[in-house]
A and B are shown apart, each in its own frame.
Chain A
Amino acid sequence: MANKSERSWREWKTQRRDVLRVIAAFLAEHFLPRRAFAKKIGTYSKPSHRVIIVTFGGGARYQDTLAPEGWRNIPHLTQDLIPQGLLYPTAINDGITDHYNSSAALATGNWQPVDPWGSQPPQSPTLFEYFRKERKLPAEEAWVIATNKSFGLIGSSQVRGFGDRYAANVILPKQLLLDAIQRAVSTDKGPGVENREAFAKQMLSALDEGYEGFGWQVYESGHQISRELKYSLEKALLDYFNDPRVPSSGDTLTFFMTKEIMRRFSPSLMLVNFWDMDIAHFGSYSLHLQAIMRTDRLVWELWQYVQSSPDYRGRTTMFVIPELGRDGDADGNGFCNHRSGDPSCRHVWLLALGEGVPRRAGSERPIRHVDIAPTAAEILGFKAPGLEGKPLVELAV
């Protein structure tokens, strides 16, 4: 019974994928301007280095990832990426162990005791603001692409002298996805979500209606999604629907959006937030582990993309870090949650890759999440004063 169902599901997917491929090719060839931002890029001095901070996110315990019993869940990290970089096996989250607070600590270099559900911006200036203000950079140079839909305000603080005018563009692909699903299933009429072709069209049309409904903060060109950005996002959506693995996860869409934004804008500073593994709250360990494995693959593919891109290869430093762990079995509430504040919630790891990073190296020195931001500031060559974190001295920046 299951085999028959799986077969029909597979056949159905294959047919839809072919149609989508044609649409994607058509769009790409006839509408997308090549290097749409070539003129804009020429109007400012683009930094020579790039930094990408990736949250291996949604909450991953050390025991399910970097500990020997977790290696099977992160084959790309252990076999492909760790040998290329510098591993800190002890990264400590000393702040509030919620996704928004922890990711905001990565983006600011300060612990962030703000509302965990993202209703408040970070209390101190973000890296994006320092970077753009000092280097007089446009918004295209700093992006946050986040699966977690509560990250709408993470792009800037409201500190005097900083704020929106120096913020990062923030887009929340999963919010777009959820919005489209919501519309598709709100009535029994229409194609719903089973017809991926129609569903993809529905998502594309949603982009015509602006972005604020998705909680996005896009400063790239006023308060309308510009033609170039819209094309980029459309391309990312079609790539997502064309993915041979037929994904339905928020992280996969985040990955495709990230690649497309890199391809079109080559931003110098990005925070990429993966989050699928927070499905652990549902209590299914296998779904949580599947999400860890998917994130492992997406991080690897992102690094491969960095290496294949002339705008990034040889000039990019990438940090990969779980923004938080999850509760331990014995002392906490188990993998489902991450609020006990036990060591399993706080002890994760950091992998640094790329420019200025020694290869096949490790440092036993415990570091903290707030150390990432000052390190990124040094790499990109701007000042970020008064941070709680300290630059990672092991990196040759």
Chain B
Amino acid sequence: MDLYAGLDPEAKELVERHEPVLAQLPRTFLVNTLLRIEKWASLFPAEKRYFRALLDQLSALRDSQFKQMFGALAAFEQKTGCGRLDAKDPAMLQQEQLEYLQRQESNFEWRRLIEAIFQKLEPLVEARLYSSELPPRLVVLIYSQGIAIERETLWERFQGNGIRVPLALGSAQTTAPFLSELLSGQPATQAVKPAPTLFRQLDRENISPLDKWLIEAGDELHGLCETNDDLARLGPCATGLSYHRLRPYRRRLSNAIYSRVSSGGAHGPVQLARWLETLEARPQEGLSLYHDRTVLDFVRDILVLGGNGTLIINNSFVEWSSVQVLHRAQPRLLVARFGVRDKLKPFSSLLLFSQPRPTDKIPLLQDPLGSFVDVELETYYIWLKSSNELPYRGKTLYLLLAEGVDQMFALAPSTKAANLSLSSRATLSDVNATMAAWLGLKTGILSGRPISALLS
């Protein structure tokens, strides 16, 4: 079997350049690496940089280092015989290997060995990747109006890691003026004409749309950009995903999956997962901001392979997309906005991926209380996962807001150690100025004042 046969030309060139070291790698490790590189055309620039650095690092290992790093896995493959397996392509081969290891009750040991390798390898790769000063990053997590906020427990999981900032909302009590002032820095009452959002303002710093993401359950942020950011003349201001706007695409995917399952084309979860991997169905609908092939593949993978209800539950889509974007694309700015989840319909919701029949008249009900419980943990997970990643660690300002709520929670590198408390109220324009200043924008033209405690 030619393991490199399915590679994109750019990836193949990279792999061939490092062929000597790849040929020495234990086979399970090699297959795992190749499977990820196989998706080269769907990788974000940050991921391509990672794989280049990974292969450079592998080639740079001295013999003794290589043995120290991979010796245990090579011995394990020898002992179990899993290194001798073969199949017609890397995907099949990996499947064979995993099933073989499971049958031998060795899969946990194998996973432990792989983790041990990465514990040694990752710091070396990261040192290559992030040798220069990392830029500051900003993550804004918003609860939309309609979620039943319990003020006494709001953001309690973050206690001890940041500070509450009292807000003076003024007239920005509802979604539209709240989002507008937060992202454009201009109170709705003072607006003569729509002011550009932070996404557009960052064009001045030559930050590409793939470095600025907005992900939301509804589509109000998309609407704001369309109104304020002159997309027709200046082009997309950011990469945007709206669960709401992806509805036709979600329905198309659901129908395809449901047809496959109900026609008996997938006899179990494993077969279904294999089929989903091959499903060629990129979105053609619902994307009004920046999208290239990588983004389209990303959306497809999130919805089809996310496996955590991303196709069915709006906030699962927002959370999982955000975690994956921060991990894979490593943007400078992410604004994620959660919404109110629908209650699952009795009975018909038990059929995975099926759409309720149009003739069924069971009313659609929202679950504002449940949504609050969900988004509190989802917000925490986004912070927890991304703050452990090197580009974000110690370099990121996290702002947690809820539309119509007169407080914000901020997690900045300065807030954890400083035990700060803020008594004076900030406006949403001040928050906007803080975000702009954090990202290095000049704030002279903005009406708000940065919150200095968060910037130090």
Could you list which residues of chain A lie within 8 angstroms of chain B, going by C-beta atoms?
2, 5-6, 8-9, 96, 113, 117, 119, 174, 177-178, 181-182, 184-186, 188-189, 192-194, 199, 246, 248, 250, 281-287, 289-290, 329-330, 334-337, 341
Contact = CB atoms under 8 A, between A and B. Distances in A.
Interface string B133-156: 000000000000000000000000
**Chain A to chain B: the 9 pairs with minimum beta-carbon distance, closest first:** A282-B309, A283-B316, A286-B370, A248-B346, A5-B363, A286-B373, A193-B347, A283-B308, A113-B105
From B111, B351, B358, residue with most partner A Cβ within 10 Å: B351
Given A113-B105, A329-B380, A335-B377, A282 B350 contact: no
A194 B365 contact: no
Interface residues of B, number: 52
Interface string B65-87: 00000000000000000000000
Interface of B: 102-103, 105, 108, 111, 262, 268-270, 307-310, 312-313, 315-316, 319-320, 341, 344, 346-351, 354, 356-367, 369-374, 376-378, 380-381, 384
A188 B308 CA distance: 29
B358 A330 contact: no
From A6, A9, A248, A285, residue with most partner B Cβ within 10 Å: A285
A193 B365 CA distance: 17
Contacts of B370: 284, 286-287, 290
A334 B382 CA distance: 11
Nearest to B355: A185
26 contacts: A6-B363, A6-B365, A181-B347, A189-B359, A192-B357, A192-B360, A194-B360, A194-B361, A248-B350, A250-B350, A281-B307, A282-B309, A282-B313, A283-B310, A283-B316, A284-B313, A284-B370, A284-B374, A285-B373, A286-B367, A286-B369, A286-B370, A289-B373, A329-B380, A330-B384, A335-B377
A105 B242 CA distance: 44
Given A287-B344, A329-B381, A281 B308 contact: yes
B111 to A, nearest CB: 7
Contacts of B307: 281
A334 B377 CA distance: 9
A246 B346 CA distance: 9
Given A113-B105, A286-B370, A185 B384 contact: no
Contact of B374 (A9, A182, A250, A286): A286
Given A181-B347, A193-B348, A286-B373, 11 more contacts: A181-B348, A181-B350, A185-B356, A248-B350, A250-B350, A282-B312, A283-B309, A285-B373, A329-B384, A334-B377, A335-B377
B351 A178 contact: yes
